[in-house]
Amino acid sequence: MANGPKTGNSRVVKYNKWGYIFLIPFVLVYLVFQMIPLITTIYNSFFENYMSGLKQIGPNFIGLENYKEIVSNGDLINYTRNTLIMWVLGFVPQIFFSLLLGAWFSDQRLRVRCAGFFKTVIYLPNLIMAASFAMLFFTLFADSGPINTTLINWGVFSEPYKFLEHAAGSRGLVAFMNFLMWFGNTTILLMAGMMGIDGSLFEAAQVDGATSTQVFFRITLPLLRPILLYVMITSLIGGLQMFDVPQVLTNGKGNPARMSMTLIMYLNNHLYSKNFGMAGALSVFLFIITGILSLLVYRFSVRDNNADEVKKRSRNKA
Amino acid sequence: MKKKVLSTLLATAMVASLLAGCGSQAAAPAADAAAPAATEEAAPAEEAAPADEAPAEEAAPAGDEGKILNIYCWNEEFKSRLTDHYPGYEEVDGTTGKIGDVEVKWNITPSENNAYQNNLDAALLKQADASADEKIDLFLVEADYALKYVDTDYTEAVSDFGLTDADLAEQYDYTKKIVTDSNGVLKGVSWQACPAIMFYNREIAKEVLGSDEADKVQEQVKDWAAFKATADKLKDAGYQACSSVNDTFRVYSNNVSSKWVDGDKINIDKNIENWVNDSKALVDAGEAGTHDLWSDDWSKGFFKDGKVFAYFGPAWFINFCMSCDQEGSVGIDGGWGATVGPQPFFWGGTWICGATGTDNATLVGDIMKTMTCNADVMKEIVQKDDDFANNKKAMAEMAASDYTSKVLGGINPLPMYMEGAEKIDLSNLSAYDQGCNESFQNSMKDYFLGNATYEEALDTFYKSVVEKYPELTY
């Protein structure tokens, strides 16, 4: 008798075991490629460790010196600001157009023709390597490039506008390229979210005589919140790690006056001398900044969500 | 039916191209795989080698040496020199060649953003553990950072490669000083000497300055004040004095009286400050641009509608930068003149270093000897490439001969170079020059364009140098 429940238990344990076995590949990959590098990065950040010419200096343990250095020279704030400015400049039009296109494509009444074709086309820029895309823009917007030549021919400018030598021009171009590259991807994500919304809600709204603007703001947007949150956070993390586009566009210099230098480009500068200590410390800062910002976005969205639900409930009661 | 035929055709084409792609890719690893075997024993390598790798052992200069010669450099210059002037060198494709049965592997990485040195450093640090065929045999260095490599054990003395003092007697002293380590051992050789001059566009000189004769032009650019006055005149006529202020940078930076780094403190020489002030004036007046060297915008002036009066450079500049073989370029029908310019200076130069641990010592030695000591080859280089070769006697002979440069409108520039080469003073070089020069030009661009004050630009310069060389202070 005593054996009965035990066999039952062990059967459960047996099934659980498979769960763990299936998790092994992920955990292994995570440990080897994420966890260990993460820990060694933090470990390295406490050392003076770089190459002077062909001579290795260090590693010497120097405690928090690297962190102090980064905080004291004030660059971190500058480059964080640059990164965020370029991210916001790109993200705002990106989310706007993605919502608009997503709403159009998923609208049952509109029945956009050749939706498949357009979905493919808007996704295409993402397939080009960021570096080649940046190189293309670099050539297009060069002082004697086709854009300047055309604008001068049309009489818009009397002499070439140095796009990459003005903060607005160079940041704007980076933001524009990021927007072009990523709005297709975001559209697809948001569309998936919109198509997941129960169709009967839209029908009910129609029956009630809601305009499409009302439907969008009162039904689509609130129900899309989880996907929007996902898009926001992934885009934020991607944005903070912005590197390839500005790096190639400005040739690693962050023209003008380092006003388009992002955090990761700054990190990359330290690799000139293989300065793993400073680069490590900077990575830790980056990790903290990303964590805080992601948490902020998450908290705001979740709180809003709850507030909305409370509102809805109270409205229902009324 | 038509559709079917078309689709079959397309499919065949696709499969064929796929196979073709596979073919060339598969061949490369096979050759690689065959290579390590070759060093251990020659016989099995022949069995392993694919059919197209013909065994031609008898042609090798030294049968017991490695079968692969690895050369590290940053552009095509040395490759074309070797192709044109080294007897027995055959080009196989873009990155490989053949000397006898030795395969020459070119590892070309551009210098921009230190990529060349990073790549070279990584390879050199692994040199001791690398297999014989992977080891770097020969690499090139520039004056800006020669010290970094020469003063280490990663380079071997040229005497170890069989070059004697007699072989090197005719080379310019400065080309030897640059690559002599702190113990007085010569670690590299160069085929060129790089005294630099001012190249001016003859058409523009005639139109604005009234004459394209070197003496008359020199009179109008004899110092920086005169240069500025001429720049004003050029501006009124719709021309730029020089393409970019970075063109004149080397002229100033080679005439400094102190090094970039003093102890471990970054130092800005008075003459570098002069460059900043003069350049700011040129840029503000619209008489020169701020393009990066080698950029498309910068090279516009090499063509007839470029409207650029002058470029500053040494002899290699003609062959390597001026696109003189292209239709519509100024140089194709001898449109350039040459004169000393405001200040004599030198720029760059490429040295051949033999890497410690090479398994092709004889071949490396022979390349060094042929390319840098053989007077006939030196003369050939001058004839073919408009370069200025590193051999006093041969150059003196050619200077006195009826040699003329086609690009330079039929003048013989060699006497001018010879005079400049004797004046080159290298006492103010440091191991940090490349990083400092690059960062300085880059940061000052913001000042010239009004994006930053001089102090801010200087601050960016310091920051960028300390990022590159963390041991320095300012």
Question: What pLDDT was estimated at residue B8?
Answer: 56
Smallest CA–CA distance, residue B398 to chain A, in Å, is 40
Is the Cβ pair A162, B445 closer than 8 Å?
A: no
Mean pLDDT of A210-234: 89
Classify residue A101: in a domain, yes or no. Answer: yes
For chain A, the domain total comes to 1
Classify residue A221: in a domain, yes or no. Answer: yes
The residues, ordered by sequence, that sit 6+ positions from A151 with a Cβ below 8 Å of its Cβ are: A157, A161
| Residue ranges of chain A whose CB lies within 8 Å of a chain B CB | 50-54, 57, 73, 75, 139, 142-144, 162, 165-167, 251-253, 255-259, 269-270, 272-273, 275, 278
For B154, the closest chain A residue by CA position comes to A54
Is the Cβ pair B113, A251 closer than 8 Å?
A: yes
Predicted ipTM of the assembly = 0.82
Chain A contact set for B449 (CB, 8 A): 162, 165, 256
Quick one: tokens of A288? 């903290």
CB B163 within 8 A of CB B132: no
Classify residue A285: in a domain, yes or no. Answer: yes
CB A236 within 8 A of CB A297: yes
The DSSP 8-state label assigned to residue B191 in this structure reads S
CB A59 within 8 A of CB B447: no
Question: What pLDDT was estimated at residue B385?
Answer: 84
**Least confident segment among A4-13, A83-92, A285-294:** A4-13
Smallest CA–CA distance, residue A290 to chain B, in Å, is 24
Smallest CA–CA distance, residue B310 to chain A, in Å, is 19
Q: Which domain holds residue A191?
A: 73-317
Classify residue A3: in a domain, yes or no. Answer: no
Classify residue A243: in a domain, yes or no. Answer: yes
Classify residue A55: in a domain, yes or no. Answer: no
Mean pLDDT of B348-360: 90
Q: How confident is the model over A248-296, as pLDDT tens digits?
A: 999 888 888 889 999 999 999 998 888 999 999 999 999 999 999 888 8
CB B443 within 8 A of CB B468: no
**Least confident segment among A206-215, A308-317, B145-154, B169-178:** A308-317
Is the Cβ pair B452, A73 closer than 8 Å?
A: no
Classify residue A117: in a domain, yes or no. Answer: yes
Helices B414-423 and B392-400: angle between axes, nearest 10 degrees: 150
Nearest to A142 among B149, B296, B468 (CB): B296
Chain B contact set for A256 (CB, 8 A): 445-446, 449, 451-452
Per-residue CA distances from B107 to A226, A290, B38, B76 (Å):
51, 39, 21, 10
Smallest CA–CA distance, residue A44 to chain B, in Å, is 16
Which residue out of B112, B113, B152 would a mutagenesis test of the A interface target, given it has the greatest number of A Cβ atoms within 10 Å?
B113
Classify residue A238: in a domain, yes or no. Answer: yes
Is the Cβ pair B463, A73 closer than 8 Å?
A: yes
DSSP reduced 3-state for B345 = strand
Question: What pLDDT was estimated at residue A314?
Answer: 55
The residues, ordered by sequence, that sit 6+ positions from A28 with a Cβ below 8 Å of its Cβ are: none
Chain A contact set for B451 (CB, 8 A): 165-167, 256-257, 259
Question: What pLDDT was estimated at residue A306?
Answer: 60
Is the Cβ pair B467, A52 closer than 8 Å?
A: no
Across the A:B interface, residue pairs with CB atoms under 8 Å apart total 73
Residue B458 predicted with pLDDT over 90: yes
| Residue ranges of chain B whose CB lies within 8 Å of a chain A CB | 112-114, 118, 121, 124-125, 148-149, 152, 154, 289-292, 295-297, 300, 431, 435, 442, 445-446, 449, 451-452, 456-457, 460, 463-464, 467-471
Concatenated DSSP letters of B262-275: ETTEE---HHHHHH
Mean pLDDT of A61-71: 90
CATH number of the domain at A181, please: 1.10.3720.10
Question: What pLDDT was estimated at residue A251?
Answer: 85
Q: How confident is the model over B405-422, as pLDDT tens digits?
A: 888 888 888 988 998 888
Is the Cβ pair B457, A257 closer than 8 Å?
A: yes
Is the Cβ pair B470, A275 closer than 8 Å?
A: yes
